[in-house]
Each structure stands twice: as structure tokens, then as C-alpha cells.
Amino acid sequence: MRAEIIGVGTEILLGQIANSNAQWISEKLADIGVDVLHHQVVGDNVDRIADAFRLALSRSDAVIVTGGLGPTQDDVTRDGIAAALGVKLERRSEIEDFLRERFAGLGREMPAINLVQADVPEGARYILPERGTAPGLVCETADGRVLYAVAGVPAEMREMMENTILPDLVRRGGGAAIVSRVLRVTGVPESGVAELLDDLFAANTNPTVAYLASAGEVKVRLTAKAPTRGEAEDLIAPLAEEVAERLAPHVFSTGDEELEQVVGRELRARSKTVACAESLTGGGLASRLTRAPGASDYFLGSAVTYTADAKRDVLGVSKETIDGPGVVSEECAREMAAGARELFGAEVAVALTGVAGPDEHGGQPPGQVWLALDADDAREARGFRAPGDREQVRRWAEQAALDLLRRYLQGTLTS
Amino acid sequence: MRAEIIGVGTEILLGQIANSNAQWISEKLADIGVDVLHHQVVGDNVDRIADAFRLALSRSDAVIVTGGLGPTQDDVTRDGIAAALGVKLERRSEIEDFLRERFAGLGREMPAINLVQADVPEGARYILPERGTAPGLVCETADGRVLYAVAGVPAEMREMMENTILPDLVRRGGGAAIVSRVLRVTGVPESGVAELLDDLFAANTNPTVAYLASAGEVKVRLTAKAPTRGEAEDLIAPLAEEVAERLAPHVFSTGDEELEQVVGRELRARSKTVACAESLTGGGLASRLTRAPGASDYFLGSAVTYTADAKRDVLGVSKETIDGPGVVSEECAREMAAGARELFGAEVAVALTGVAGPDEHGGQPPGQVWLALDADDAREARGFRAPGDREQVRRWAEQAALDLLRRYLQGTLTS
């Protein structure tokens, strides 16, 4: 099956926003084995939109359109579809009812301009949205091709893609099903992950494995293909189990949950409070721990101590450590963690010190990171050399500190 | 002039990378008044690439192609151009010499596969790169249209766009030149900026003004068109001066410099040290102040105090304030700033407290922010209600705190 993605919106052509929807959809289609051969972007002009749709339907089996389904005069995707298919728009009373209810739920009357969102090309089906007010459209052509149209707002687009369009494409793909499992790993490099798993995939092309590395994280993606979803699940299940077992202590998520969300959830589940002490990350660790709503349930504070004096005065790092191994050392990280725990009265504290770069500092090279964790029942430290530029070193350091905390909370510190 | 941008690369169609080049080029073309009516993306397939070029040359005056100019088998943009234009590729010895020299400069011999980068469609011109090894191509058609091809690596693409292609497009546009000036403003809302400037543009369509608002910042862009660059400069200069004067205390940058970079530069220039105290931003303010290399010249530390206890114990916020106006109050912000200044021994300190949301806190609504600055020669506080979600409120609060610091350093606190 060949697919094509069309973004509608003058703001993309003006460079005001990126066409990030096309990337997201492309990735999802690759996951289910649908080949994307073209992207197009057109502005809010009904003739050019209709031309783009005609071209796409002449060369692709499935066309996915994002944007132009709002209620304003600029939103002409509906008209473009009608023109390309040579049909009229008809107003659907059941969508009208839905829109009135949606507005009533917000305590507002529906503005008259929203009525156009109840217009559907003759013969097309529609998808009612859980978010927003723009119904999606599913338009089939006489020769068996299909054009889907969804809102350009990413959250609204994703909802319809995940709930309706991706399953529909799998069904249309002649029954071939593709199942993926993602394991998000931290605390072990890409080469280490590959070493742990490579024998499983050496003679295996289905399921396949792919690794995607970023600062402090490796995404492991398993993908199985089979005639039916059930068979694909059966193919992937034993292998996924084996992979999960081998990587167990290093896997922090099997979905969209970020490392700081996992840590927050574990802290809340265990009714523990946390504090930090940071140097090279300059507040980045605390910023990530407080990104989620409700972080005040477990996060008490962080001492961002950028100077040796601040480490001594605020956290009580000893003169011996500062003058001896120095501020970028295991000893300093340990004393910072203990100091932060005491300062904020937290049950567990993590501390970070290091050299973000680009220059060396106190005889230590850029990328050198020391971190430590301090709790009643655990005292741990780790050192490593992070690759990349200043921003990447900071990201690596944050990931490592969050992971130390995760392993402590999940009881896998020594794995 | 109508332009079209074509990204070549299967990795874009797989969703592995975003087509960020299209956004960057679109913005630059908008700046010089060139209308972009289409984007296309095609994979590394010579037939589909040639089809895309033919389509683009049938409807656009200028076509800009990114990607597919590398030395590997996947890189078939050169072949696609030759096929679309119905010409042959010819190897240019002067590009060969350039490539050999480029490799020699790196102390390496040129691999044989790089020779294809010396191939140019008959009748086309080439652009030698300052970075990388991929020459750009400029191909004119018999009917006066033009196709430019540049490397997909963003830095290489930008170099050729800025040095060669954008000036060439301005020249082709009948000699019309477009000059823009950007002023980045903070501390005053978009409507406030418009009020200060609207009379200047009420009866004026050249230069024009455009406002682009984001959390805690308004970008003001002035654009003048004239037959020559000199005339456009003459048109824009007096108006830009008037605008700069009216907005003076609010303008933090007229280029790419971010607010935290401006603050860092001012701190360094004045040999002042700074400390922070943060609540709702959770370390984000310190993280921004330490993003730039060399931040340790002026940044001492930040106390991220997320709880009332931490504000009292670490920063010395009084029991009267916590029990009275509460932790989200002007009084608390002032005491936090004074406390941070003393804790870190800084010459100036800024403090932030507020409610990031989504829920209210201590009787204060989401978005409520208080900030304060404390120095020997200034004690200031500000309160405001930031719009948006949790992430946006945090961004607004950081911007406001950085701006308070900027105004103190630049002596415009009371403007």
C-alpha cells in the first residue's frame, strides 16, 4: 500500500510553523508497514488544495490530509475534497447535534460559523472528535482509494490517527498486520544493549529489532509482521518477553512515559520525598522533576550550587574535599547529596557535579560527570564521561541522575 | 514570484527526521517577499524525483531542492535534475580539483565515490561549498524558470541559501529588494506593543509591521520593499529608529540573541554576580542562566524551594509571610530574593513564586506569578497573571524574571 501525506495551511508555507504532523504520521505508517512515497504542503486555497488531492489520488492508495477543517473562512479542506471528487457537500444534522452538545458542555452557545464543520462530502463517512470540534472525514473513491482528512491540531490529529485511521489502514492492507513493541532503556549504551540482544536477532528477520539512541536513552523497537494481528502478536510475544528480561533493570518505560514521569510516579507510590543538589545541570534536573502537575507531592527543592563557595556554604561540602579531589569528584557528589537531603529534610536526595564544557574545569575534561544518591538505606555514587556538546552533556547528566533515583526506588540499584 | 520547496530523502518519508529545511527556507523566502505555494517531499528514487521537479517547474518560477547531493548511491538529485530537464550530466574538472583539495586539507585522499559530486547537468552552474563537499546547482530553463539544489545538511543548506540563492532570488524578482528589521520585546503584551506603534503603520503599507507573540515575548518585524536594497534601507531606517525609540526599554534583542544571553552579557560586562530563588519554575530560571558557556563567571546558584518549609529553612522567609499573605505573594517573593542574595553572597538576586497549575494553590489561581529583585541599589517586585498551560506559565515566569534582571542591569527598571 502506497500512502501520501498532505498538510494544508498557509502558515506552513510561510515558515511560521513546522509540518510536524507529517513526521509523526510518517513514523506511524512506517510502523505498520505502509510506504509513504510523497509529502505535499499547500496553502489555504481551494483550487490548489483540490489539485493536490487529485494528484495524490492518482498515484497513492491512501491519502492523509491534515489541517483546514476548522470553522473559519480559511478552512477549505472540505471544499477541496468536494472539488477533487466532483461531489457536493451535504450538511449532516447528526454532526450539528454533536457540535451543539459539545458547546453546551462548555457552557457556551455554538457560534453560527461552526455549522460548516457539519458539512461532509457526499458519500463520505465522518469521525466525531473526542477533543476539539473538527470531525474527521473518510472518503473512498470508486477505484478503491481512500482519502482521510483530520484536524491540523496535533492532539486532535493523533487521536483520530490512533483510534480510527491506523487500524483502518491495517485492515485495508490485505490483512497484513504489523505489531511493534518499544522498550526505552537508560543507563547502558547502545552498543551494550546490542551486545545483550544481538544473538536473538542474528538469524531472525521477523521480528526485527532497531535501536535509536539519544542522550542518555536507547529506544529498542521490536517489529513483527504476520497475516493477522493475532499471529503478529504471537510472533512478537515470546521475543519481547526475552528482551524485557535481559534488559529488565535498564528499561524505564514501554510507552510514552518519560523518565521523570516514571520517577514521579514511583515517588508518589512510595510516599517518598526527594531533593536535589546540582552543579553542571544548573537547575535542569529539578526542572524536569517538577514538569508534571502535582510534583509538590514529592519534590521539596534543589540547591543549584554553581560555585565551590555555594557547595560549601549551602550544602556543607567539606574544605578537604574542595581542596583535595575537588568539586568535580565522587566525594563532592556524595557530600552534595547528603547536604541536600539534610537541607530540605528529604527522604532521598540525588546530586550532580561535573563539567558541561566546552572547556575543562578544575583539571577535569568536558563531559566528566559525578552523581550520588543519599538515603537512609542507600548511599551510591557513579561517574562517567558524557559525549557531545554542552547541552547534550547536561541532558546525559540529568538522565543519569533520574535513572539513579529510579533504580533506587525500584530496588534495582545494584543490577 | 512563485516558489516551491522540494525535500529529497527517504528518511523524511519514514519520519526519521523532520523536514526542518522547508520551514527555514519558507521563512527566509517570506522575508524577501517570495510567495511559497507548495512544499513537496520525495524519497531517493530518480523517477519520482524527476516527476516532482517537472511538476514544480510547470507551476513555479523558482524551485529550491534540498538533499540528495551526497556521494552515495542514494544521492540521485543530480540524476533527477538531468532527467527532468532532458539533459546529460557532465563531469567538471574544476569541481574535481576542488574536491581533491578539500580532502587534502583534511589530510585524506578523496574516496572515488565522491567523484559523482563533480557531475553537473549540462548548462547548469554550480556553487562551491564552504562546508562539506556537496556543490550546489543552479539550473535555468528555457522559459526563464530556475531550479536550485543544495545539500540537505542544514548548515550547508543555510550557507548556500544566504550567500547565493536568496540574493539571486532578490535580483531575479525584477530588482525588488526587501529589507527586514526585527525587534524582540518582552515585558509588554502584544496589544501593548501594537498600541505604542499602530499610528505609525495606520496609513503605511511600506514598510509593514508584523507581530509574533509567544510566552513572554513579542517579535516585531518591520519589512520594506523598494527597487534597490539602498532604497529599502532608506525607507526602513527612519521608521525603525522611531519604533526602537518608542519600544526602547522593552527591546532586549535585535537579532538571534536570547534573553538569557543578553542578561549573561550584561552581568559579565558589569562584573556582577547573580543568584536566584525559584518555586514554580522548579530550576528552569537557573537552567536558562547557565545554558551559555562561561556562565560560572557570573552565576552563583539558585535555591529551588518548592515547599513552604524550604522557603523558610533555606531562604529565611518569615513565618508571618507564610501564615499571612502566603507563599504566593509579593512579600514572599521579596523575602526569597533577599534570602537568595544572602545565601549565595550575590550582588543581585531574583526570585520567583507562583502557581504553575493546572490547579490553584493556596487560594491563588493558576498562572499567578510574583517576582522580586534584590540588590544594594534596588528592590523591586512585580506580579502578573500568566496565560496558558503549566509549561507556558513556567516559561512566562522565567521570561519575566530574566527581564527584571535585564532592566536592572540596563538601568531601565522604572521604564
**Residue A9 · residue A68 · CB < 8 Å:** yes
In this complex, which of A307, A344, A391 lies closest to B301 when CB atoms are compared? A307
- Is A285 in the B-facing interface, judged by CB distances under 8 Å? yes
Q: Span B79-84, mean pLDDT?
A: 98
Identify which of B353, B283, B307 has the alpha carbon closest to the alpha carbon of residue A344: B307
- Is B42 in the A-facing interface, judged by CB distances under 8 Å? yes
Distance from the A289 Cα atom to the nearest Cα atom in chain B, whole angstroms: 8
Question: How many DSSP H helices and E strands does chain A contain?
Answer: 15, 17
Query: Is the CB of B48 less than 8 angstroms away from the CB of A36?
Result: no
pLDDT at position B33 is 81
Distance from the A2 Cα atom to the nearest Cα atom in chain B, whole angstroms: 12
Choose the weakest-confidence range: A70-74, A91-95, B132-136, B243-247. Answer: A70-74
Say yes or no to pLDDT of A13 above 80. Answer: yes
| B89-106: pLDDT as tens digits | 999 999 999 999 998 988
**Residue B21 · residue B66 · CB < 8 Å:** yes
**Residue A137 · residue A125 · CB < 8 Å:** yes
Residue ranges of alpha helices (H) inside A147-303 are: 154-160, 166-172, 190-201, 229-247, 259-269, 284-289
Say yes or no to pLDDT of B229 above 90. Answer: no
**Residue A53 · residue A80 · CB < 8 Å:** yes
Q: Which of residues 370-399 of B touch A (CB under 8 A)?
A: 390-391
Identify which of B21, B6, B16, B258 has the alpha carbon closest to the alpha carbon of residue B159: B21
The strand pairing partners of B3, in sequence order, are B36, B62
A208-214/A217-226 β-pairing:
antiparallel
Distance from the B7 Cα atom to the nearest Cα atom in chain A, whole angstroms: 9
Instruction: Give the CA count within 13 Å in the CB-facing half-sphere of B341.
Output: 19
Return the percentage of chain A with pLDDT > 90, whole number.
73
| A268-322: pLDDT as tens digits | 999 999 999 999 999 999 999 999 899 999 999 999 999 999 999 999 999 999 9
Counting one residue from chain A and one from chain B, the pairs whose CB atoms sit within 8 A come to 215
pLDDT at position B176 is 67
Distance from the A378 Cα atom to the nearest Cα atom in chain B, whole angstroms: 23
Distance from the B319 Cα atom to the nearest Cα atom in chain A, whole angstroms: 17
Between B79 and A188, name the one with better pLDDT. Answer: B79
Nearest-5° Cα angle at A406, A404 to A412:
80
Say yes or no to pLDDT of A175 above 60. Answer: no
pLDDT at position B377 is 95
Q: Span B20-40, mean pLDDT?
A: 92
In this complex, which of B28, B302, B309 lies closest to A345 when CB atoms are compared? B309
Query: Is the CB of B285 less than 8 angstroms away from the CB of A283?
Result: yes
DSSP-derived secondary structure letter, B126: E
The C-alpha atoms of residue B217 and residue B250 are separated, in whole angstroms, by 10
CA distances from A297 to A251, B252, B307 (A): 25, 37, 10
pLDDT at position A62 is 97
| A380-412: pLDDT as tens digits | 999 999 988 899 999 999 999 999 999 999 999
Residues A403, A405, A407, A410, CA torsion sign: negative
In this complex, which of B23, B300, B301 lies closest to A18 when CB atoms are compared? B23
pLDDT at position A387 is 85
- Is A36 in the B-facing interface, judged by CB distances under 8 Å? yes
Query: Is the CB of B359 less than 8 angstroms away from the CB of A295?
Result: no
Identify which of B69, B182, B49 has the alpha carbon closest to the alpha carbon of residue B134: B69
Chain B residue numbers touching A24 (CB-CB < 8 A) = 15
- Is B295 in the A-facing interface, judged by CB distances under 8 Å? yes
Choose the weakest-confidence range: B69-83, B96-110, B200-214, B223-237. Answer: B200-214
Predicted-complex ipTM score: 0.73
**What is the pTM (predicted TM-score) of this model?**
0.75
Could you give the strand order of the β-sheet that contains B217-226, starting from the edge strand earlier in sequence? Answer: B208-214, B217-226, B177-185, B251-253
Identify which of B181, B147, B192 has the alpha carbon closest to the alpha carbon of residue B56: B147
As a whole number, the mean pLDDT across chain A is: 93
Chain A residue numbers touching B29 (CB-CB < 8 A) = 15
Query: Is the CB of B302 less than 8 angstroms away from the CB of A283?
Result: yes
Say yes or no to pLDDT of A174 above 70. Answer: no
The C-alpha atoms of residue B19 and residue B22 are separated, in whole angstroms, by 6
